[in-house]
Structure 1
Amino acid sequence: MNMQPTANVTAPPMPKTLAETGLSVVMMRDILLKSMFRMNVDLVSDLARVISLSVPLTQELIDMARGQKLVEATGTLHATSGNEMGYQLTDSGKARALDALSQSEYYGAMPVPLEHYGKQMKRQSVRDIKLTRDQLVRAMGHLILPPDLLGHLGPAVTSGRSILLYGPPGNGKSSISNGIRAAMGDKIYIPRAIEYSGQVITVYDPIVHSAAEEQTDDPNSLRRTGNRFDPRYVYCERPTVITGGELTLDMLDLKYNPVARTYQAPLQLKASGGIFIVDDLGRQVEPPQKLVNRWIVPLEESRDILALQSGEKFTVPFDTLVIFSTNFHPNEIFDGAALRRIFFKIKVDGPTQEMFLRIFAMVARKKGMPLDEGALLHLLKTKYPTIDNVFANYQPVFLIDQMISICDFEGIPYQMTPELIDRAWANMFVKDEKIAK
């Protein structure tokens, strides 16, 4: 789906000097040595790609390490790589790399200092998104929704504040959450890693982050094209993190690997600049009230507090649209204080009979199931009164898929009959009865 950008995101500038990276020279030198040791890379152009710096800055680090007798030229020109000189670690360089690895196994892309990261998040804040009704309609085009629902969703998304979607199950709360993400339509810059107090925290995660385009990793090409943006970042779709009943409070803390002595960003930090969806709220081990209490400071102050293994606490930007989705009534799972902190409360109800029939017809058409008036009347007049005519958005898909499976098994053309409706209906609900043990 081609959506027009909804925000004007400024790219992180390319560092022109080592000082502009914001990192200590010793840290950069050690990451260079560790990368050479672990990856056996010997060309400056390849090293620049690995550590995500420009060729000139990488060469400057190499020259510095050579001056300290940690790196030496191999004396070999690589004809296939533009006659580049090769480099290798000296015995002292290998010893220094091993010592640095014993302190932290992190190597590869240079991290972005936390302060620099905070500035970039302001440039690409989710709160700067200007979403129009047309964009939301296009993103939700595959859904049949009550006409007033978009009027509630639009201001909620544009505000960048927290949203609670509640209502009976099976009516598209999860689909709506994903549609909101699609409506955003623009792209931001995700750091491969950030640095705080000498510690490296990896942020970019291919499972969470979707690279928007092939990044120009060839440093020579970067030099020719004028260095479009800092290669320590990856140009990505705005991220979406979806959690459900598996969410626990410790998933919102920094993850420390005691073997590698490195940190991994928690879920909400990976979701920065995008959406964090807490689906099926009320199904987690921790009660909803406790989960929301964890979000109080981030939601109110746009900052989160994390802790290193040493116990030292520090603040990171919290620039995330948080969407809570639940099948429970809000008053059942929250107290008044918690509800006040969730800025928008939007009920997603089941469809009317008219909307249900539109959904049913749309699904049938997509799946190649011919509609039958007699079967539909049987469904509406005989089956739905048994459940007090409570319609849900998931039911058309369920019933039609059931009839398709029966037709496939029986070896008959796709068709809709009262008998097939009865057989499909029997699988949609479980009869309330006692089972002998």
Structure 2
Amino acid sequence: MASKVFKASMSTKTAPIAIIGAGPCGLTLARLLERQKVDYVIYERDESATSANAGGSLDIHEATGQAALRKAGLWDAFRKEARWEDDRFTVYDKFGKQHLDIKSNGGVDEAGRPEIDRKALRQILLDSVPQEKIRWGSTLKAVKMHKAGSPALEFTSGATAEGFKLVVGTDGAWSKVRSMITQAKPEYSGRTYVEAQITEENPLFKSVLDKFGHGTASLLAGASQMIVQRQGNGWYRVYFGIQAPEHYVGRELDSASVDALRKSLLSDFYSDWAEEPKDYIRRADHFRSWPLYHLPVESQKWATVPGLALAGDAAHLALPNGEGVNCAMWDAMELAKSIETYGLDKLDDAVREYEKDLLVRGKAHIEDGIQLGNLMSHETGPAALVKAFQENDF
């Protein structure tokens, strides 16, 4: 039976631009194109807006993420969800002694780097684009190029879509679009985050609230770290950062494997920590693993491929450094601006101009992630990171 061929819009006319991925990057681009009256379609692997694990809290920076939201006409919607009170970063050692406590806004309301839950940010962006332009449940299998040079999309369902002037890959770490532009692949960093939650029902909640309050706290002790981050609903995500083989922690964790993981963390990674943070391992819930990957620094050089573009993690996957979503939204803003400047008849020129700065900031973004990761896991514990902040290196 012949596979289904998607039309790229609800009308009989094919949209000129396909966006792969409905995360903050892809949705920011869609919103900006919507304001420029440029037609597009989004293909997203999630079955619906509510089916994904939306992740933790994000700090949105003035010159990048905030600038993109203002350009998109979404600043007021963002303000309603943003948490300026969580613009706070603290550093502790493994015994619970505090070494740093900073706020980027200097105590000024609606300044600095407010936090917002990833889920809330995504919803703001989703609400700003016509829902009929999103193809939910569309997992991209491959991108193929026709002899004429136009890209065609193949999905795991067997469906295909074609007729686009430009396909933009905002499809994250394991981007299918990227493979048509560069052979670079993400590398495992040697570090894994094990995520857990401390909700209001948890007996630990009151002590965690009293100790850390608002914002994000990093507890550092060389190869092992903990990050405690307040969420929009008031409870906390905890990330246990360890240096371990890539598949040390399984992706699917049942109760038996969680019990084994707790024992391993306590004996192999946090045995000499104070009892209070060790209790987070013993009593937090909802464990899941996040192996940390990044693209090679040298990956940020490629020739423009007609009909294709990358943005966000698809272009410059980096280790956590507070810039990921901001850099992604900045990419979206810059690509939309270049499309507006050059027009739909010169999209390859628009992408070529956009990539000049994309590759520069992508390289810097990856380097920053590696540098911060090294500081977070420095043998001196918190001293190296504290010094870097005091010297304004971050």
Shorter-chain TM-score category?
A: under 0.3
Higher strand share: 2
Higher RCO, Cα 8 Å, sep 6+: 2
Higher helix share: 1
TM score, norm. by length of structure 2: 0.25
TM score, norm. by length of structure 1: 0.23
Specify the structure having the higher radius of gyration (Cα): 1
